[in-house]
Chains A and B, each alone.
Chain A
Amino acid sequence: MTFFKKNGLKLLLLFIALAVPWVVPSRYVFQILINCCLFAIGTLSLNLILGFTGQASLAHAGFFGIGAYGVALLTKAGVSFWIALPVSALLAAAIGVGVGLPTLRTRGSYFAISTLCMGVIIEIVAGNWVSLTGGQTGVVGIPTPSPIVLPGIGEIAFATQTAQYYLVLAFLLFTLAFMHRLVYSLKGLGYMAVRNNEVLADAVGQNTFAVKLQAFVIANFFVGLAGGIYASLLGSISPSVASINITFNFLVYLLLGGVATLAGPVIGAFAIPVLMEYLQALQQYSMIIFGVLLILVIIYFPRGFMGGLTSLWNRIKGPSPGKG
């Protein structure tokens, strides 16, 4: 019984997530939800480096792009999606080491600026290395994920939206489980220590550079993973997958949803794109609305929706030591 009491909300959410294909009103909305799952993976990974480790990486879409191009080019060359995906995510992680080694030597806004430059460089390379990436036209005709063959049972194909949805949901749950284990551990405390007081973290024996590099590389692995699945499901990509707009989308989802929480990025990545769809008429003003919203949130709810919810909850419950 205590299991249900403790995990009731999570089970309910999981049940709703699993039931989505039966209640979704249209193919169009379904496609948005599928993309939201991938954005959620990207936002969760940005949360690791920005939210927990305190390093504002603005090269995030660059690594999304590396994952996307990796899967696009490898699967078009005949490599199975199930090999191309981890290879592309590992490629994003490896390039993350190369980018992290110089940029993580800078701090604060300098790190943000240097990673911003790196992100732009990745987008420019994608748009100009014509022989490899197809230049501005990008890559078209990317195959959908190859079916998983289960000997004696049959195979799981990913041609339908429902199958694709369960695929991205599985990856989202995997990312959530991974991040949960990581941040609610001594290792996660180490990331937060670097965010909170780098000099003291160093003084208590933490190689802060290595800690930051690890968080950065893991974050890039997961956003590369999201990018790879995105390319395969969409069927075509262009250099815009690595554009700064995508980075800022992740950033907005994260800041509005709530930094340094696990629910926040997921809430942000679902609520905002869905809200945008229902506010179609306001689409052209969306940047103004988000600009104002972002300023309000940063001033009044610096920890986003989840942070606001927590402080509200604490106020109702009265002052008692909460779990951080």
Chain B
Amino acid sequence: MEKPLLKVENLIKRFEGLVAVADVSFEVYPEEILTIIGPNGAGKSVLFGLISGLLKPTSGRIFLSGREITGAKPYVIARRGISRTFQTTSLFDQLRVVDNLALGYKMRTKDGLWSTLVHGPSWRKDKERTEAKVLEVLEFIGLGHKAFDFVSTLSQVEQKCLSIGVALAGDPKLILLDEPTGGLIEEDTERITRLIRKINGAGITVCLIEHKMRMVMDLAHRIIVLNYGAKIAEGKPEEISRNPEVIEAYLGKEHRA
């Protein structure tokens, strides 16, 4: 069996009496699209918070390519190769599109103080590499024509694309997307869906939280279902759509067919 890129072991997160994530274990394999679904409040975003280091687990362990990252700071985990987006679009909204992307790549540069002040060779190299990366990502997410615009002037879907672009600019091995199509109309959802497929096509592993079932069934290689913090099902899309427990969690007992 292939070695997992991300391995989550018996993860538990308690918030004073509330169990947000209850003993969840799963693996993410290289180059797959794994989608996490579940009703509101099922603990999906908390799970992302735990993986990306924003929250510390009560217990359990997380490994990236076999190395433990449990409880590490978000910036350390980002440098190790996990990039993420947030459910409510999070950008540097006082800055321009290019600045946002450059900041996504910044952690991959040397960025020394002395070199910055004297415009030394490593500063020049950083600058060239950053510019090349920004251009590449701009093209990839289709925002080339808005490169020098301020974030606040972008449409909602453009902001969503940019937030994914910021994550991509950091050359991640794994990208965590928390509801990238939340609040978008059908047409824009398709744009994001195409972008996610393109990211995966470029060899980046994708872990996705999503509510729109058509999109999930369309994109996911595998699906994990959470309910009340616990994993209630895992499998291929067609298996999940037939799983009675999943149907119950989503629609309630009386709809059980």
Contact = CB atoms under 8 A, between A and B. Distances in A.
B103 A189 contact: yes
A206 B104 CA distance: 9
Interface of A: 178, 181-182, 185-187, 189-190, 192-193, 195-197, 199-208, 214, 321, 323-324
Contacts of B96: 321, 324
Nearest to B97: A321
A196 B167 CA distance: 17
23 contacts: A186-B106, A186-B116, A187-B116, A189-B99, A193-B95, A199-B54, A200-B90, A200-B92, A200-B166, A202-B54, A202-B73, A202-B74, A203-B74, A204-B107, A205-B79, A205-B107, A206-B75, A206-B103, A206-B107, A208-B75, A214-B113, A321-B96, A321-B150
- Top 6 closest A-B pairs, CB basis? A205-B107, A205-B78, A321-B148, A202-B74, A196-B92, A196-B94
Interface in B99-138: 99, 102-104, 106-109, 111, 113, 116-117, 119, 123, 126-127, 130
A199 B74 CA distance: 9
B135 to A, nearest CB: 15
Q: What class of interface size applies to chain B in its complex with A?
A: 35 or more
B159 interface: no
Given A205-B78, A205-B106, 4 more contacts: A197-B92, A200-B90, A206-B75, A323-B148
A206 B54 CA distance: 13
Interface in B13-52: 52
B83 interface: yes
B84 interface: yes
B106 A206 contact: yes
A204 B78 contact: yes
B86 interface: yes
Nearest to B74: A202
Interface in B62-86: 73-75, 78-79, 83-84, 86
Interface string B160-174: 000000110010000
Contact of A186 (B73, B90, B109, B148): B109
Contact of A203 (B52, B108, B117, B150): B52
Contacts, number: 103
Interface string B219-239: 000000000000000000000
Given A203-B74, A205-B106, A205-B107, A324 B99 contact: yes
A201 B103 contact: yes
Nearest to B93: A196
A192 B95 CA distance: 8
B149 A321 contact: yes
Contact of B102 (A189, A197, A202): A189
Contacts of B130: 186
Given A182-B116, A187-B111, A324-B95, A202 B75 contact: yes
B199 interface: no
Contacts of A200: 86, 90-92, 166
Contacts of B103: 189-190, 193, 201, 204, 206
